[in-house]
Amino acid sequence: MPESLGAALDDTPASVVPEVDRAGHRRAWVYRAVLALIMVVQALLSVRLNNTAFMDEALYIYAGHEEFAHIFHGAWITTTYSSNFSGSPALYPVLAGAMDSLHGLTGARALSLFFMLACTGFLYLLTRRLFNERAGLFAAVLFAASQSTIILGWFATFDSAALFLLAFAAWVVVRTDRANPFAVLFAAPILVLAFFTKYAAGLFIPTVVVLAVIVAWPHRGARALWRGVLLSAGVGAIGGTVLYGSSIMEGLQHTTTSRAHGTNSMSELIGLSADWIGLALAVACLGALSYVWLGRLSDVTSAAQTTTGKEPGRIWRTMLCLLLCGTGLLASAYQIHLSTGVSLYKHVGFGLFFFAPLAGLGLSRIVGPHFRRTAIAQRFRVAAIGLMIVRAAIGLLIIVFAFSSGITESDYRYATWPNSTQLVNVLRPHVNSKGSYLSDVAQVPTYYFHNVTNSKQWQGTYHLAYTDPKGVKHSGTDAFTAAIDDARYNLVVLQKPGGSAIQQAIAKALPSSGKYRLYADLPFTSTFGDGSYQVWMRTSASR
């Protein structure tokens, strides 16, 4: 079409176009500013949590120090971590150990905060691509308010890094929905890295593969299936190559595929999941229902439309909603199968990321569209204004309740282990590179004294095979009592109250042996009530 004819048919004043562009530019910056504010609040909620290293944090960071020294300096590793870790010890632990070397425990936890803030950013970008900016902001709010997000943002474990990689891969497959099918292969190494960072992340890899097909279907039809085939082949080829001959298979089986079953009931696990993600999931279901039956209405964006400018059909919308909401239940379903609530508070956060886009859409539908000045001026109705206020109030109540619940639950969870500051200070003058020590929480002093001792010097109270000076071999509870009777340890640390048979046997053997004296009784308070660390020191006559 000639330029003059196009100008003649376009009755939009030339001065309006730049104004529209400027309005869109301003709106984009407003959304970015709100997202930044959400992330600032998320960061503050995480860094406000305060406690000493949890046993898992201590173990992973210490392992990271050893792995780092082994990789870069050829140092000897005292323990085969790959046989019992829930992720490769050469990935996240090395990063955490490096950050700990630079900035201590705060540095390792700050690394987790970076990963979780990045997850929020990817969630916004993904939701904006599927729906629109408003839904993306609401999704980010609900994600940032959850107890899983708050805790994982200041918790030095595998989870934040694995979730970051899953979020990155999910954004890649959505962002490349209209690109060449081979572009989806960019997500393959990211997914493999997520799996090896934390094996449980493999539960969500099929979701990303199916998502790659669904988001491309409106643009490519059945040819979108090639994206799923290519991504599956890429993940399988890379993952299989890494796994072949690897020493991590034992850890994968021990912590994930053949994990021991627990004793938690189905009703108990459902109740816990409902407490932690129930509100967001309910809002997501509302968003899914409204999306399936009503479509996007006026909140469609150009990125979410088909190549013909039409909205995808109801079947497509249904498949997308089933995928996202179903993924939100995967972690709970898997742990119900295992009858265990161990780490459930963290794992539900993985599912939350995937159904959060629908929760954002649901909250957006509850609040309703923005006020339009012209519409209010032309049709001022008290009932309509009242309805808008009610909807906005309901949305605000949901957000307030989500943050209140997240803050309360994270405070509770972060106080489930006792503060070990006093214990570390008491032990410090008596710990050296030649001593032998027994502790209920061996991982904690191993981490705090990693520059002085190694993990072989710290014996936990779970399992021990002990051979006494006469050559008699002992195992189980008898091994610990025999070692106490032989004054095997320089120091013994017991956490009271102790419920296991081994702990009770050690507590009985210490005073009766006559070879140890109670050096310190350090009280603490945790979520589960009052307790104390008892530090027993070997008497000089027994040395």
The answer on pLDDT for 303 being more than 70 is no
> Structural domain boundaries of the chain?
37-414, 421-542
pLDDT in the model for residue 276: 94
Write the Ramachandran bin of 64: left for phi over 0, alpha for psi from -120 to 50, otherwise beta. alpha
Q: Please report, in angstroms and rounded to a whole number, the separation of the first and last CA atoms in the chain.
A: 99
Cα separation, 524 vs 422, in Å, equals 9
Residue in the structure block whose two tokens are 């909140």? 299
Q: Is 513 exposed, middle or buried (CB count within 10 Å of its CB: 0-12, 13-18, 19+)?
A: middle
142-181: pLDDT as tens digits: 999 999 999 999 999 999 999 999 999 999 999 999 999 9
Q: Is 196 exposed, middle or buried (CB count within 10 Å of its CB: 0-12, 13-18, 19+)?
A: buried
Q: Lowest mean pLDDT of 75-89, 100-114, 118-132, name the range.
A: 75-89
**Mean pLDDT score, 404-424:** 97
432-442: pLDDT as tens digits: 999 999 999 99
pLDDT in the model for residue 136: 96
Cα separation, 515 vs 108, in Å, equals 40
467-490: pLDDT as tens digits: 999 999 999 999 999 999 999 999
pLDDT in the model for residue 19: 59
498-534: pLDDT as tens digits: 778 999 999 999 999 999 999 999 999 999 999 999 9
pLDDT in the model for residue 261: 85
The answer on pLDDT for 77 being more than 70 is yes
CATH code of 421-542, in short, is: 3.40.190
Q: Sign of torsion, CA 406 412 417 421?
A: positive
pLDDT in the model for residue 530: 96
The answer on pLDDT for 408 being more than 90 is yes
pLDDT in the model for residue 371: 44
- The mean pLDDT value of the chain amounts to 89
The answer on pLDDT for 452 being more than 80 is yes
Q: Sign of torsion, CA 305 308 314 315?
A: negative
User: 429-447 burial, b for 16+ CB within 10 Å, e for fewer?
Assistant: eebeeeeebbbbbbbbbbb
**Mean pLDDT score, 256-261:** 76
100 pLDDT band, cuts 50/70/90, is very high
**What secondary structure does DSSP assign to 330-375, as a single string?**
HHHHHHHHHT--TTHHHHHHHHHHHHHHHHHHHHHHHH-SPP-HHH
The model's pTM is 0.92
More confident residue, 379 or 258: 258
